[in-house]
Amino acid sequence: MRSWRKLLLPLSWIYGIVIYVRNCLFDAQVLKSVSYEFPLICIGNLSVGGTGKTPMTEYVVTFLKEKYKVAILSRGYKRATKGFVLAAKNVSVRDIGDEPFQYYHKLKGVTVAVDEDRRHGIRKLEAENVEVIVLDDAFQHRKVKAGLNILLSTYSELYTDDFLLPAGNLRDLKSQAKRADVVVVTKCPEELNVESRKEIVKKLKIAPHQEVYFSRIAYSDTVRNTAEAIGLDELNDKEITLVTGIAHPRPLLEYLKNEKIHFKHQVYADHHNFTTSEIESLKKKPFVLTTEKDFVRLEPYLENLYYLPITTAFLADEKNFQARILNFTTNNS
């Protein structure tokens, strides 16, 4: 936590009281959580973002769609629409948001929808005859009770070390981690050893019913757009402008620097909506490199645009992670 944010701790205490009361009301069933008779998987976190939720959602859905008709339901953060919207050919990134738009175009055969009212969205998706619904970023949405909760926390910023908003980045109490069935520590260094993992498990105070896994971000060795792929070793002679509108760009910066890629970095807030003047400025850049999430927002306007693909990779026990999810979907279908 940055030193100046410590001044905001009194506000965090007030926020914490509100969140505590809300959770107690759900625990006491004064506020109702709705359960469902088909597999409903929630992938979320306790913090405001940057835990690798998008690549993890893609990972889970990619292996599930080989066996089931899968749907992803998201809120559609910063979209220009309201209510339920089903992704289709005539739907733009402004209609459903950047992450759902990315899911729709990347995960062929998967139904993608957005709705700020998750209960309503689930009812609409039931009409689409889907067999499994993955809730994107819904751990705090307690009006819906998922059958399997997957909680993400980054290696460099474990939720046990963080504080509630606004002093820290947590939007829910640390104690709510107990509701998770699976905890994945994301964005780990590839060389993280077994002893270090055991220490993290101890620090997270994992309950007997929970399983813990460790994953990292795997970067591609090529940058791409809709027309071509270029190897990283071919970028040395290019004047590169790196544009990021994500919560935590540091791992990407470190990866590119380790690959000896030279660039000038233009950083924006997470889910940034680029203005006309910003886009016009980027059009003048000879080579713009960005994230996959930012690519879907900028691609309609820029011809000189490329993105670096990423995927989730597990440090160990990947088959066990997949089996945990497949056992749940099989037993609840």
**Which residues are part of a known binding site for ATP?**
47-54
Q: Please enumerate, by residue number, every residue annotated as part of a binding site.
A: 47-54
The 3-state secondary structure of the chain, one letter per residue: CCHHHHHHHHHHHHHHHHHHHHHHHHHCCCCCCECCCCCEEEEEECECCCCCHHHHHHHHHHHHCCCCCEEEEECCCCCCCCCCEECCCCCCHHHHCHHHHHHHHHCCCCEEEECCCHHHHHHHHHCCCCCEEEEECCCCCCCECCCEEEEEEECCCCHHHCCECCCCCECCCHHHHHHCCEEEEECCCCCCCHHHHHHHHHHHCCCCCCEEEEEEEEECCEEECCCCEEEHHHCCCCCEEEEECCCCCHHHHHHHHHCCCCEEEEECCCCCCCCHHHHHHHHCCCEEEECHHHHHHHCCCCCCEEECCEEEEECCCHHHHHHHHHHHHHHCC
